[in-house]
Amino acid sequence: MGTLCVLSAGGDTKVEWDIDAAETVREAERIFRENANRGYAAFAVGGELESSRRIEKFDPAVSRIVQSPPIAGG
């Protein structure tokens, strides 16, 4: 089981997938790609902060992915 957490000002959204259920994987990957195309950064998050890393592609084998919207300065 994996979780995609999409951060936003209006509240975070969680999308879960089951590696054995292709439809749930496709839906999570679709949402991941949509957000990536809008400039969201994605991170594979492990149990330790040091094990977290930025990712560019959806990987259903990762148990937790966090996507953060682009930050605009002013």
Q: What is the pLDDT of residue 18?
A: 97
Give the residues of the chain that fall short of pLDDT 50: none
Q: What is the pLDDT of residue 37?
A: 97
Burial class (CB in 10 A: 0-12, 13-18, 19+), 38: exposed
Rounded-to-integer distance, Cα 27 and Cα 50, Å: 29
List pLDDT tens digits, range 42-56.
999 986 656 789 999
Q: What is the pLDDT of residue 71?
A: 85
Within 13 Å of residue 45, how many CA atoms lie on the same side as its CB? 13
Looking at the domain 2-68, which fold is it?
A: Ubiquitin-like (UB roll) (3.10.20)
The model's pTM is 0.89
